[in-house]
């Protein structure tokens, strides 16, 4: 089956093209779409961006580290079993927001292709990237309408919490065990604050039902939900840029976009991924020493969070416009020689060696619909919907427009259509 859908690249090791072969010269199509991106159709005005544009960047509040350590000690086994461990650990990351990188790339986003159109070609984050960077599941059924409900667990009243630090104090328990109620509260905060980064930028129980399902071990393709929200984030940013409007706070995972950009562009600053460090979970918030505060990165997500690309907007804009040299671009960043941990169920080199790997690999390359907004409560990204209940909107994920190199820079994720 692998040989029926994949064509090995003769130039780049471990890179493949998808069958069937499409138009070998899609340049006309790309040129037409290039004229629709914000860089071509709008005024590049950096004053459109302000301190509130990235207001929902995830930053751990006081008490989160200790709560993470407490819950991890009791639920770490479940995290491994349900593919949550790598992404939950990323909540300890101290990755600083790179405004220059995020602003400069936004002008090259194509809402039709769900991809960046740079001078060197098309690039976009894929389900393969989401899986390798976060470890979150990309398999299983999506049921976005289900998560419009509020959930059944009774948690502390929002009115009794003045912020996320107060939320933690209201839900963390003193006993040696972690109750189901505490665990749901923990996962709800993780989903809202660190994963989807809701537009309210404050306390909500919008993701409580999904937290309840994760606590029960239900099969949820959280990686697909995350990518759908990331695509819709870039859609909203590009839409505002095309109207020459100020960029207000937009709900969505900017952190995921930066994580992906850091990894694919890391050769600009030439770090050795094996030498990067990540905050250790072995110390509490009261620890003031230096020894043992960090450890070696063990996953691609951790390594990407430790990469610092320190260039101003103008420098990065020129690089994206002119395109990077082949020596700078990373065609396949997920290389076992880096000694970083792959999500344990999958290796690119193993291909279709067993049924589990085949299902995961198929999720990377098969067309699907990604729900972009699927939670209860206020702060939803879909505004002014004429349909009762303000239902989810969707992003389409497909790799079938023309041959593309798996997890490479030439990875256009095809046409995007949004419905609600």
- Cα-Cα-Cα-Cα dihedral sign, residues 234, 240, 245, 248: negative
pLDDT at 181: 93
pLDDT at 121: 82
* Residue of 61, 127, 52, 137 lying closest to 97 (CA atoms): 52
pLDDT at 381: 43
Q: How far apart are CA 136 and CA 121, in angstroms?
A: 28
pLDDT at 401: 41
Q: How far apart are CA 219 and CA 208, in angstroms?
A: 16
Query: pTM of the full predicted structure?
Result: 0.86
Which residues of the chain have a pLDDT value below 50? 1-4, 20, 379-388, 400-417, 419-420
Return the bridge partners of 370, or none. Answer: 395
* Residue of 373, 417, 366, 364 lying closest to 393 (CA atoms): 373
pLDDT at 100: 94
CA distance to 68, 165, 168, 190, 338, per residue, from 61 (Å): 12, 6, 9, 11, 32
Q: How far apart are CA 2 and CA 322, in angstroms?
A: 36
pLDDT at 418: 53
Q: How far apart are CA 186 and CA 129, in angstroms?
A: 26
Residue length, the chain?
420
pLDDT at 27: 64
Q: How far apart are CA 154 and CA 157, in angstroms?
A: 9
């Amino acid at each position: 089956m692998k040989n029926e859908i994949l064509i090995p690249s003769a130039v780049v090791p471990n890179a493949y093209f998808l069958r069937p072969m499409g138009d070998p010269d899609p340049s006309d199509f790309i040129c037409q779409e290039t004229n629709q991106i914000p860089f071509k159709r709008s005024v590049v005005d950096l004053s459109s961006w302000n301190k509130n544009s990235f207001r929902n960047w995830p930053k751990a509040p006081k008490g989160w580290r200790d709560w993470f350590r407490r819950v991890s000690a009791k639920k770490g086994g479940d995290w491994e079993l349900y593919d949550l461990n790598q992404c939950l650990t990323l909540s300890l990351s101290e990755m600083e927001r790179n405004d220059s990188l995020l602003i400069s790339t936004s002008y090259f986003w194509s809402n039709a292709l769900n991809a960046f159109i740079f001078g060197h070609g098309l690039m976009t984050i894929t389900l393969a990237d989401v899986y390798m960077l976060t470890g979150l599941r990309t398999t299983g059924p999506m049921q976005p309408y289900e998560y419009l409900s509020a959930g059944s667990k009774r948690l502390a009243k929002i009115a009794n919490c003045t912020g996320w630090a107060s939320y933690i104090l209201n839900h963390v328990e003193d006993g040696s065990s972690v109750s189901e109620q505490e665990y749901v509260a923990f996962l709800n905060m993780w989903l809202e604050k660190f994963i989807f980064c809701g537009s309210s930028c404050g306390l909500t129980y919008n993701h409580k039902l999904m937290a309840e399902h994760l606590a029960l071990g239900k099969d949820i393709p959280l990686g697909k939900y995350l990518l759908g929200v990331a695509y819709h984030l870039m859609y909203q940013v590009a839409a505002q840029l095309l109207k020459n409007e100020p960029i207000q706070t937009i709900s969505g995972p900017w952190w995921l976009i930066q994580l992906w950009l850091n990894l694919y562009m890391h050769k600009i600053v030439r770090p050795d991924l094996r030498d990067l460090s990540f905050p250790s979970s072995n110390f509490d918030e009261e620890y003031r020493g230096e020894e043992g505060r960090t450890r070696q990165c063990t996953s691609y997500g951790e390594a990407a969070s430790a990469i610092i690309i320190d260039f101003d907007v103008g420098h990065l804009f020129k690089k994206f416009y002119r395109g990077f040299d082949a020596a700078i671009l990373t065609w396949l960043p997920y290389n076992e020689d880096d000694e970083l941990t792959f999500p344990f169920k999958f290796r690119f080199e193993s291909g279709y060696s067993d049924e589990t790997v085949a299902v995961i690999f198929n999720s990377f390359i098969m067309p699907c619909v990604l729900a972009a907004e699927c939670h209860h409560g206020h702060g939803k990204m879909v505004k002014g919907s004429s349909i009762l209940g303000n239902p989810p909107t969707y992003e389409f994920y497909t790799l079938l427009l023309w041959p593309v190199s798996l997890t490479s820079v030439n990875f256009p994720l095809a046409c995007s259509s949004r419905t609600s």
